Amino acid sequence: MAAQKNKHGLPAIKELENILDTCKLDLNPVDEVWPNLYIGNVAIAQNRNALMKMGITHVLNAAHSKQGSIGDQSYYGDTVVYYGIPAEDSSSFDLSVYFQLAADFIHKALRKKNGKVLVHCIMGMSRSATLVLAYLMLRQRLTLRTAIQTVVLRRAVYPNRNFLSLLLDLDIQLQRKRMLCPIL
């Protein structure tokens, strides 16, 4: 059976969910999903000793100011650079307004000598995974399908349907830009 495609020839949400369903990994507190780029849960983000042992230099909190998620720059002091995004894991939250900001934060951190980034939310499955996927698409030039396939080899993630739709929109935008200017 051929994979469903939308009008742009890109994978439909259901196909993306099927790729996500192929992951048979257990959900760990933290996993490295790209060199020096980690997705984790709130518990690991609040464990400064564990972060120090891992060599984490930057934390991107995709659940900033949400119940159960503490953290700001003062929590980490001068040992870690903190960036918080007050995202909701919902069917109506527009996380795409943070895609470029998050991708730039991650990219800048990874370019630093010994830079290691933890991107987290509460569970480390939806918001944080979505921002990492956006980074891989925007800064590493991966398609959405390839980005998801790359991440699920290393971590159990499951962005909600709203976030998958926003990532699909980003995939369409990037595909159009690359068709107009292939060097992008």
CATH class of the domain at 30-174: alpha beta
pLDDT bucket at 37, cuts 50 / 70 / 90? very high
pLDDT in tens, 59-116: 999 998 766 666 788 888 898 999 999 999 999 999 999 999 999 999 999 999 999 9
Provide the residue ranges of all domains of the chain, joining segments of one domain with +.
30-174
Taking residues 116-145, report their average pLDDT.
97
pLDDT of amino acid 160:
96
Task: Provide the whole-model pTM.
Answer: 0.90
Number of other CB atoms surrounding residue 122 within 10 Å? 20
* % of the chain residues with pLDDT over 90: 79
Per-residue three-class SS string for 124-158: CCCHHHHHHHHHHHHHCCCCHHHHHHHHHCCCCCC
* pLDDT of 3 higher than 60: no
Q: Is 121 a catalytic residue?
A: yes
* pLDDT of 119 higher than 90: yes
pLDDT in tens, 149-182: 999 999 999 999 999 999 999 999 999 988 887 6
Taking residues 116-139, report their average pLDDT.
98
Of the two residues 77 and 133, the one the predictor is more confident about is 133
Taking residues 27-53, report their average pLDDT.
97
Output b/e per residue, 82-116; b: 16+ Cβ within 10 A.
bbbbebebeeebebbebbeebbebbeebbeeeebb
Q: Which of 37, 110, 121, 132 is catalytic?
A: 121
Question: What residues contact residue 130 under an 8 Å CB cut-off, 6+ apart?
Answer: 62, 95, 159, 163, 166, 167
Between strands 30-34 and 37-40, the pairing is: antiparallel
